[in-house]
């Protein structure tokens, strides 16, 4: 199911205020009828707030009652789907789909283009493990391949042994006009620290969305050119600079 088709669980409550309660708070409880001028003066703040809320409500995107469009869910204006953040990216690689698949399916070589992954491990229970560099330090990722269609799709989901809860999917299709292969990847994850954690990671260029598109671009470089572009003038990693 497309995540975009789900309603967000954090809807805004911008309903009318309880004016009776306001009046009570305004201190006219002694039975005297307030003069019109005083009433107006007393109500002005409430009217202002109501107008501001109404104005804000007009500016807020209205998600209900809109038929879904053709865009993938990850292009939606909202970043969060339930407790998950979904991000993704497509790139076109000028190579046959089988060649892209063969390179992609070799999970031991993922660290070649996924610079935040290292120490690939085939675990006895059939799951796969890596060490992942995150903005908050290193974490162990353990995942199992949950779907595989030869030459077309591969999906993985983290297991209970993983320190990062996430799932991802990569799909391949032939690009139009013999331009090679479109590779589409997306990841859904529960960000440490919630949505705030997601934005912090994104600001440091370390959100799965930013990293994912950089990894796809590196994979594209490797397949199309045989190398990953670098501005470094020296082979030693210590001498390199971004």
154 near 147, Cβ under 8 Å?
yes
Q: Which is nearer to other proteins, 143 or 219 (CB)?
A: 219
Q: Which is nearer to other proteins, 6 or 230 (CB)?
A: 230
Integer-rounded Cα Rg, in Å, for the chain is: 26
Q: Please report, as residue ranges, which positions from 150 to 189 form the binding site for other proteins (by CB under 8 A).
A: 179-180
Q: Which is nearer to other proteins, 89 or 198 (CB)?
A: 89
Minimum distance from residue 233 beta carbon to other proteins (Å)? 4
Minimum distance from residue 109 beta carbon to other proteins (Å)? 17
Minimum distance from residue 214 beta carbon to other proteins (Å)? 5
Minimum distance from residue 138 beta carbon to other proteins (Å)? 20
Q: Please report, as residue ranges, which positions from 87 to 106 form the binding site for other proteins (by CB under 8 A).
A: 92, 94
Binding mask 220-239 for other proteins (x = CB under 8 A): xx--xxxxxxxxxxxx---x
117 near 193, Cβ under 8 Å?
no
Distance in angstroms (rounded) separating the CA atoms of residues 222 and 217: 9
> How many CB atoms are located within 10 Å of the residue 74 CB?
22
Query: Residue 190 class from Cβ within 10 Å (0-12 exposed, 13-18 middle, 19+ buried)?
Result: middle
> How many CB atoms are located within 10 Å of the residue 217 CB?
16
Measured over the CA atoms of residue 201, residue 203, residue 208 and residue 214, the dihedral's sign is negative
Binding mask 197-216 for other proteins (x = CB under 8 A): --------x----x---x--
């Amino acid at each position: 199911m497309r995540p975009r088709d789900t309603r967000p669980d954090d809807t805004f409550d911008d309903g009318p205020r309880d004016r009776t309660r306001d009046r009570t708070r305004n201190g006219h409880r002694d039975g005297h009828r307030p003069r019109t001028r005083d009433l107006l003066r007393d109500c002005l703040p409430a009217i202002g707030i109501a107008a501001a809320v109404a104005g804000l409500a007009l500016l807020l995107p209205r998600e209900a009652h809109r038929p879904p469009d053709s865009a993938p869910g990850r292009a939606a204006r909202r970043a969060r789907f339930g407790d998950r953040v979904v991000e993704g990216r497509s790139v076109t690689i000028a190579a046959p789909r089988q060649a892209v698949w063969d390179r992609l399916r070799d999970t031991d070589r993922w660290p070649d283009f996924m610079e935040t992954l290292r120490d690939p491990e085939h675990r006895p229970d059939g799951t796969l493990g890596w060490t992942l560099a995150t903005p908050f330090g290193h974490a162990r990722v353990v995942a199992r391949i949950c779907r595989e269609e030869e030459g077309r799709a591969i999906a993985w989901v983290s297991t209970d042994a993983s320190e990062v809860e996430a799932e991802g999917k990569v799909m391949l299709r032939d690009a139009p006009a013999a331009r090679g292969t479109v590779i589409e990847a997306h990841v859904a994850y529960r960000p440490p620290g919630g949505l705030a954690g997601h934005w912090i990671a994104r600001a440091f260029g370390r959100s799965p969305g930013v990293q994912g598109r950089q990894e796809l671009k590196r994979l594209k470089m490797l397949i199309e050119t045989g190398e990953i572009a670098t501005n470094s003038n020296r082979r030693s990693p210590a001498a390199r600079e971004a």
